[in-house]
Amino acid sequence: MRKQFAVIGLGRFGGSVCKELYKMGHDVLAIDSNEDKVNEFTNFSTHTVIANATEESTLQSLGIRNFDYVIVAIGENIQSSILCTLLLKEMGVKNVWVKAQNDYHHKVLEKIGADRIVHPEKDMGIRIAQHLVSEKIIDYIELSDEYSIVELLATEKVANRSLIQLDIRAKYGCTILAFKRKEQVIVSPLPDDLIHLNDILIVIGHKNDLKRFEEEGL
């Protein structure tokens, strides 16, 4: 189903979010106070508007409360980001996602009711560090302090073997959710499904178990 998104602030982060949502076929309203920025996005969004998103009347005239999601990606100006988020929540926008600059910014956003707070640089830093430490780790999602989902590259050690042969759940306590094989994704693989060399395995488990599997099982 097509969803309605509004992206406020078309810097590196907001700009990427906008382009990707549009590419996926969603309706995206791209908003920035800088005219040049807005012009860059005419071909990468459904509508563009030059507007200051800290003005309540402006947000109202854009009908912002009717959007399914509003992403606040105002970068350095923390004050504007906070004010804009506050206005959006006061106006009754259901899902407001905000990019935070630091922990102080995060705390304030939490207090004023931001629905989701993201730290793109910090999160990306963690992912890149994980990948640097082991080339087998392609991607990494932290679910909690203890549990994660990782994408691991299938090595020779597991290639052409089935899940039942490898018995990963019993040996390592982690579960393979899916394989990615080129463009194909095999969700909930069956016990007899064979792993191919260079498949990407999507694995969920306790961090210690995942580490053990990555180090000893692959």
Q: Is 209 in the site for ligand ADP (CB under 6 A)?
A: no
Q: How far is the CB of 58 from ligand ADP (least distance, A)?
A: 9
**Between 78 and 178, CB nearer to ligand ADP:** 78
Q: Of these, 5, 17, 29, 37, which contacts ligand ADP (CB under 6 A)?
A: 37
Structural contact between residues 24 and 2, judged by C-beta atoms closer than 8 angstroms:
no
Which CB atom, from 79 or from 160, has the smaller least distance to ligand ADP? 79
Helical spans, DSSP H, in the chain? 12-23, 35-40, 56-61, 78-90, 103-111, 120-133, 163-166, 168-172, 207-212
Nearest to 67 by CA among 41, 49, 43: 49
- For position 56 contacting ligand ADP by CB under 6 A, the verdict is no
Q: Select 21 or 158, whichever has its Cβ closest to ligand ADP.
A: 21
Among 34, 39, 160, 165, binds ligand ADP (CB under 6 A): 34
Closest among 56, 8, 57 to 33, alpha carbons compared: 8
* Identified binder of ligand ADP from the candidate list 54, 67, 87, 109, rule CB under 6 A: 54
Angle among Cα 195, 197, 200 to the nearest 5 degrees reads: 70
- Residue bearing tokens 């730290």: 119
To the nearest whole angstrom, how small is the minimum distance from the Cβ of residue 206 to ligand ADP? 34
Residue ranges binding ligand ADP (CB under 6 A): 8-14, 31-34, 37, 52-54, 73-77, 80
